[in-house]
Structure 1
């Protein structure tokens, strides 16, 4: 538990994350699911899945695990079996969110760089299969977290709260599992995202040079090239995605490395390490609130759909009011 002052500060921060993250992801799900953003069904499936997993991350990690634990510390969510299951869901949702971003980045890389595979791989059916596989594998590989938990204490035969077992930080098996978990998320995903983005950007730049040469510099200056503008937007989008994940995960990774190197796993809520830890968690969770937005904000049709969605309740009330006045 936090001390009173720090507890209020962190609670407000997580409350802000929840207030921002839940509506942002819900709006993204609704807009993409409507299918009016001019995107293929393959892309739409990925974006809806990414927004859904991000929403689950925000709900489980921010609302249930952080806010509820402060305001309702003795609820059924604090019973050890429920707490252990919640831990599995936390990690599974986080892994699904990150790896779906990898899958989507790879899909775009194939679509842009490998035209011969595009028609076979970049389909709605493939997207659905990949999404299901990512979620299932993420869930299965995080099941061991359930068995890493032990009760903090037992009252009248009921185990309460969750702490890691005493041998979690010393057992070779648990250390290996924890290390594999960290490598699996986020090191490998970040590396793959950077690699796929680099290949895609390189292909776009090379293609743009060839296109300019074929069109001719004079003609290119006089008349805008819609295709090259779309490619420029793609580069901006890919770089934004990479920067978002790397920057917002960096503090979390740095804290993990510091803890493992120093062997200092326990510290008070007033220590600098605790602030370091919470900053890492907050930035990590923030990435799940901005990930889908980065894809969406750049698209004009998404903004138009968002304006329509936000204004719909007011237009509905106005039309109902006019209809009511007409009946009087």
Structure 2
């Protein structure tokens, strides 16, 4: 959850603040240097990748906790969580290293490279086309079925356990009564459906856009302003998806809320001491 929060914060800083605000409204800033522009593009792609796969990893963790009782004792440990976070972070960086070399200077003034544009042959070279499909598979085409599969199995397991628990309680009590465990499971089902539903809804326009552009081999947007507006709205939905899962998980976890309160109180505690 901490890894997911950090990745979402990186998206808010680099993808939203730097790319969508500073890049457009401060045309003469250091962000226009080619090396800075390349690094910013690399960080943006890595942040999105880390956010999505942290969500998948956390969903798999919940799947193990609920459905795999034997594996739960070995997998759901702090050491395993650390290893998973490191692996996801390293893979997110390695997969997006080519993004840094995707751009070349737009123009050179006084031996200083300015601006970023796609390297020559980016859309025709076989290596770059293969990398584009690998990037599209890693985010978000592959996480889609994984999230749906894990959540469906988890929900079906909860339904089966609920039926068995309801049957046992009816035999022992002879009447229906309020069951806190059943309420917790019902909340978990709603949570799982909300997470996978929001991810699919918010990422679907991006997937459709990538598929259409790859099929038509379109790289520019010479159409009306409505097309450009649709593209910007699509990116807005994608960036919003990086925040919804963290907010949903955080608001439903009592320990997470307590840790946030401890972070807020910590500076004042130091002052008092």
Pair 1:96 & 2:50 matched: yes
Pair 1:177 & 2:177 matched: no
1:8-35 Cα distance to aligned partner (Å, 9 max, x none) = xxxxxxxxxxxxxxxxxxxxxxxxxxxx
| Distance in 2 separating the partners of 1:220 and 1:204 | 23
Deviation at 1:279, TM superposition (A): 1.2
The residue aligned with 1:25 is none
Pair 1:200 & 2:189 matched: no
Pair 1:297 & 2:247 matched: no
| Distance in 1 separating the partners of 2:103 and 2:47 | 18
Q: Give the one of 136, 139, 156 matched to 2:90.
A: 136
SS in 2 for 1:227: helix
Pair 1:232 & 2:179 matched: no
| Distance in 1 separating the partners of 2:184 and 2:196 | 19
The residue aligned with 2:216 is 262
The residue aligned with 1:160 is 114
The residue aligned with 1:241 is 195
Q: Give the one of 237, 243, 252 matched to 2:206.
A: 252
1:274-298 Cα distance to aligned partner (Å, 9 max, x none) = 2222111111111122221111233
Q: Which runs of 4+ in 1 moved over 4 A?
A: 299-310
How many residue pairs align between the two structures?
268
| Distance in 1 separating the partners of 2:259 and 2:102 | 45
Deviation at 1:172, TM superposition (A): 1.5
The residue aligned with 1:62 is 16
- Quote the RMSD (CA, aligned, Å): 2.3
1:103-142 Cα distance to aligned partner (Å, 9 max, x none) = 1111110111010010100011100110011001100111
Contact kept in structure 2, 1:212 and 1:220, CA below 8 Å: no
The residue aligned with 1:278 is 232
SS in 2 for 1:58: helix
- In the superposition, the TM-score normalised over structure 1's length comes to 0.76
Contact kept in structure 2, 1:151 and 1:161, CA below 8 Å: yes
Pair 1:215 & 2:169 matched: yes
Deviation at 1:263, TM superposition (A): 2.4
Contact kept in structure 1, 2:31 and 2:37, CA below 8 Å: yes
The residue aligned with 1:72 is 26
